[in-house]
Structure 1
Amino acid sequence: MAKIKIVVVGAGYAGVFGTKFLSKKLKKNPDVEITLIDRHSYQTMMTELHEVAGGRVEPEAIQYDLQRLFCRRKNVKLVTDTVTSIDKENKVVYTQKGSYEFDYVIIGMGAEANDFGVPGVRQHGFSLWSMEDAILLREHIEQTVARAALEPDENIRREMLTFVVCGSGFTGIEMIGELVDLKKSIAKKNKISPDEISLKVVEALPTILNMLERYDADIAERYLVKKGVEILKSSPVVEVSEKEVRLQDGTKIPTRTLIWTAGVQANSDVKDFGMETAHANRLAANEFLQAVGFEDKGIYVVGDIVYYEEFENTPTPQIVQAAEGTAHYAAMNILADIHQTEKKAFKGNYQGYMVSVGSKFGVASLFDKIHLSGFLAIIMKHIINLKYFFDIRSGHYAFQYMMHEFFRVENERNVTRGHSSRNSNVLWSVPLRVFYGLVWLVEAGKKMIGNGEVLKPSTWFGEGSWFVGDSVFPWTWEYAKDAADAATGATEAVDAATAATDAVDGATEVAKFGLSYAFGEQPMVVIENSPAWFTKMMQFIMPNNDVAMFFQKFMVFFEIALALALIAGLFTWLSSATTIALVLTFCLSGMFYWVNIWFIPVAFALMNGSGRTLGLDKWVQPWIQRTLHKWWYGEVKSIYGQD
Structure 2
Amino acid sequence: MAEKKQILILGGGYAGVAAGKKLHKIFKNDDSVEITLIDKKPYHTLMTELHEVAGHRTEPDAIQIDLRTIFAGRKVKVVTDSITNVDLEGKKLVSDKKTYKFDYLVLACGSDSNSFGIEGVDEHAFTLWSYEDAVKLRAHVEKMFQLAAIEEDEAVRKQLLTFAVVGGGFTGVEMVGELGEAKDHLAVKYGVDKKEVTIYNIEATPRILNTLKDEKQIAKVENRYKKLGIELLKNAALVKATEDGFELKDGRFIKTKTLVWGAGIKVSNFIGKLGLEAGRGGRVLVNKYMQTLKYENVFMAGDNTHYEDKDGFLPQIVEAAEQSGHTAAVNIGALINKTEMHEHKQNYHGFMVSIGSKYAVSDNNGLKFNGFFAVMVKHMVNFYYLFLVSGLAQLSEYVMNEFFRIKNRRSVFGGHFAKASPNFWMLPLRMFLGVMWLIEGINKIDEGWLVEAKMYASDAVTQASEWVEEGTTAVKPLIETVPGVVQWGIDNIIAPHAVLFQTGMVFMEIIFGLMLIGGLFTFIAGIMTTIMTVGITLTGMSDASILWFFFAGIAVIGGSGSAFGMDYYVLPWLKKWWKKTPLARKSYLYFH
| TM-score normalised per structure 1 | 0.86
**Counterpart residue type for residue 70 of structure 2:** L
Q: Which residue of 2 aligns with 1:358?
A: 356
Count residues with an aligned counterpart: 576
Q: Deviations over 1:71-122 (max 9, x none)?
A: 121x211100112232222221223321222221111111121000011111
Q: Deviations over 1:244-291 (max 9, x none)?
A: 110011011111000000011122111222212223332221111111
Task: Provide the rounded CA distance (Å) in 2 between the counterparts of 1:250 and 1:303.
Answer: 38
Matched, 1:590 2:573: no
Matched, 1:619 2:569: yes
Q: Which residue of 2 aligns with 1:183?
A: 183
SS of aligned partner of 2:49: helix
SS of aligned partner of 1:399: helix
Task: Provide the rounded CA distance (Å) in 2 between the counterparts of 1:522 and 1:538.
Answer: 21
* Post-superposition offset of 1:615: 1.5
SS of aligned partner of 2:385: helix
* Post-superposition offset of 1:523: 2.6
**Counterpart residue type for residue 389 of structure 2:** I
Q: Which residue of 2 aligns with 1:466?
A: 449
**Aligned residues of 1:85 and 1:272 also touching (Cα < 8 A):** no
Give the counterpart of 1:529 among 477, 482, 502. Answer: 482
* Post-superposition offset of 1:10: 0.7
Q: Which residue of 2 aligns with 1:57?
A: 58
**Counterpart residue type for residue 254 of structure 2:** I
Matched, 1:211 2:208: no
Identity of aligned residues (%): 39
Task: Provide the rounded CA distance (Å) in 2 between the counterparts of 1:308 and 1:526.
Answer: 66
**Aligned residues of 2:111 and 2:267 also touching (Cα < 8 A):** yes
Q: Deviations over 1:168-214 (max 9, x none)?
A: 11011110111111011000010011111111000001000111122
Structure 1: where are the runs of 5+ without partners?
Answer: 451-464, 485-490, 492-509, 512-516, 636-643
**Aligned residues of 2:285 and 2:305 also touching (Cα < 8 A):** yes
Give the counterpart of 1:325 among 323, 326, 338. Answer: 323
Task: Provide the rounded CA distance (Å) in 2 between the counterparts of 1:12 and 1:541.
Answer: 55
Q: Which residue of 2 aligns with 1:159?
A: 159
Q: Which residue of 1 aligns with 2:257?
A: 256
Q: Which residue of 2 aligns with 1:149?
A: 149
Report the CA distance shift for 1:602/1:246 in structure 2 as closer, same or farther (over 3 A).
same
Q: Deviations over 1:221-261 (max 9, x none)?
A: 11112321100001110000011110011011111000000
Q: Which residue of 2 aligns with 1:301?
A: 300
Q: Which residue of 1 aligns with 2:551?
A: 601
Q: Which residue of 2 aligns with 1:91?
A: 91
Q: Which residue of 2 aligns with 1:573?
A: 523
SS of aligned partner of 1:110: coil
Task: Provide the rounded CA distance (Å) in 1 between the counterparts of 2:473 and 2:315.
Answer: 73
**Aligned residues of 2:533 and 2:546 also touching (Cα < 8 A):** no
Task: Provide the rounded CA distance (Å) in 2 between the counterparts of 1:265 and 1:274.
Answer: 16
Greater gyration radius = 1
Q: Which residue of 2 aligns with 1:13?
A: 14
Task: Provide the rounded CA distance (Å) in 2 between the counterparts of 1:5 and 1:359.
Answer: 44
Q: Which moved more, 1:135-144 or 1:88-97?
A: 88-97
**Aligned residues of 2:354 and 2:360 also touching (Cα < 8 A):** yes
**Counterpart residue type for residue 413 of structure 2:** T
Task: Provide the rounded CA distance (Å) in 2 between the counterparts of 1:143 and 1:262.
Answer: 24
Report the CA distance shift for 1:417/1:33 in structure 2 as closer, same or farther (over 3 A).
same
Q: Which residue of 2 aligns with 1:433?
A: 430
Q: Which residue of 1 aligns with 2:383?
A: 386
Q: Which residue of 2 aligns with 1:197?
A: 197
**Counterpart residue type for residue 401 of structure 1:** Y
SS of aligned partner of 2:529: helix
**Aligned residues of 1:271 and 1:281 also touching (Cα < 8 A):** yes
* Post-superposition offset of 1:540: 7.8
**Counterpart residue type for residue 343 of structure 1:** M
Q: Which residue of 2 aligns with 1:629?
A: 579
**Counterpart residue type for residue 394 of structure 2:** Y
Task: Provide the rounded CA distance (Å) in 2 between the counterparts of 1:301 and 1:137.
Answer: 31
SS of aligned partner of 1:563: helix
**Aligned residues of 1:15 and 1:327 also touching (Cα < 8 A):** yes
Q: Which residue of 2 aligns with 1:419?
A: 416
**Counterpart residue type for residue 45 of structure 2:** T
SS of aligned partner of 1:415: coil
Report the CA distance shift for 1:536/1:300 in structure 2 as closer, same or farther (over 3 A).
farther
* Post-superposition offset of 1:527: 6.7
Task: Provide the rounded CA distance (Å) in 2 between the counterparts of 1:535 and 1:32.
Answer: 60
Q: Which moved more, 1:75-84 or 1:402-411?
A: 75-84
Matched, 1:550 2:535: no
Report the CA distance shift for 1:572/1:158 in structure 2 as closer, same or farther (over 3 A).
same
* RMSD, aligned α-carbons: 2.3
**Aligned residues of 1:523 and 1:595 also touching (Cα < 8 A):** no
Task: Provide the rounded CA distance (Å) in 2 between the counterparts of 1:403 and 1:609.
Answer: 14
Q: Which residue of 2 aligns with 1:502?
A: none
**Aligned residues of 1:530 and 1:590 also touching (Cα < 8 A):** no
* Post-superposition offset of 1:537: 6.2
Q: Which residue of 2 aligns with 1:127?
A: 127
**Aligned residues of 2:148 and 2:192 also touching (Cα < 8 A):** no
Q: Which moved more, 1:279-288 or 1:393-402?
A: 279-288
Task: Provide the rounded CA distance (Å) in 2 between the counterparts of 1:591 and 1:206.
Answer: 70
**Counterpart residue type for residue 118 of structure 1:** I
**Counterpart residue type for residue 92 of structure 2:** V
Q: Which moved more, 1:413-422 or 1:549-558?
A: 549-558
* Post-superposition offset of 1:412: 0.3
* Post-superposition offset of 1:299: 0.9
Task: Provide the rounded CA distance (Å) in 1 between the counterparts of 2:81 and 2:100.
Answer: 11
Task: Provide the rounded CA distance (Å) in 2 between the counterparts of 1:64 and 1:155.
Answer: 43
**Aligned residues of 2:53 and 2:134 also touching (Cα < 8 A):** yes
* Post-superposition offset of 1:348: 1.0
* Post-superposition offset of 1:418: 0.7
**Aligned residues of 2:6 and 2:35 also touching (Cα < 8 A):** yes
Q: Which residue of 2 aligns with 1:559?
A: 509
Task: Provide the rounded CA distance (Å) in 2 between the counterparts of 1:543 and 1:4.
Answer: 65
SS of aligned partner of 2:240: strand
* Post-superposition offset of 1:322: 0.7
Task: Provide the rounded CA distance (Å) in 1 between the counterparts of 2:140 and 2:259.
Answer: 11
**Counterpart residue type for residue 146 of structure 1:** Q
Matched, 1:110 2:92: no
Give the counterpart of 1:343 among 324, 335, 341. Answer: 341
Report the CA distance shift for 1:380/1:473 in structure 2 as closer, same or farther (over 3 A).
farther
SS of aligned partner of 2:556: helix
Q: Which residue of 2 aligns with 1:48?
A: 49
| TM-score normalised per structure 2 | 0.93
Task: Provide the rounded CA distance (Å) in 1 between the counterparts of 2:49 and 2:538.
Answer: 45
Report the CA distance shift for 1:568/1:235 in structure 2 as closer, same or farther (over 3 A).
same
Give the counterpart of 2:395 among 374, 393, 398. Answer: 398
Task: Provide the rounded CA distance (Å) in 1 between the counterparts of 2:501 and 2:99.
Answer: 63
Task: Provide the rounded CA distance (Å) in 2 between the counterparts of 1:571 and 1:531.
Answer: 34
Report the CA distance shift for 1:291/1:536 in structure 2 as closer, same or farther (over 3 A).
farther
Q: Which residue of 2 aligns with 1:242?
A: 243
Q: Which moved more, 1:151-160 or 1:419-428?
A: 419-428
Report the CA distance shift for 1:539/1:621 in structure 2 as closer, same or farther (over 3 A).
farther
Q: Which residue of 1 aligns with 2:405?
A: 408
Matched, 1:77 2:59: no
Q: Deviations over 1:338-379 (max 9, x none)?
A: 2222212211111110011111110000112x1101111111
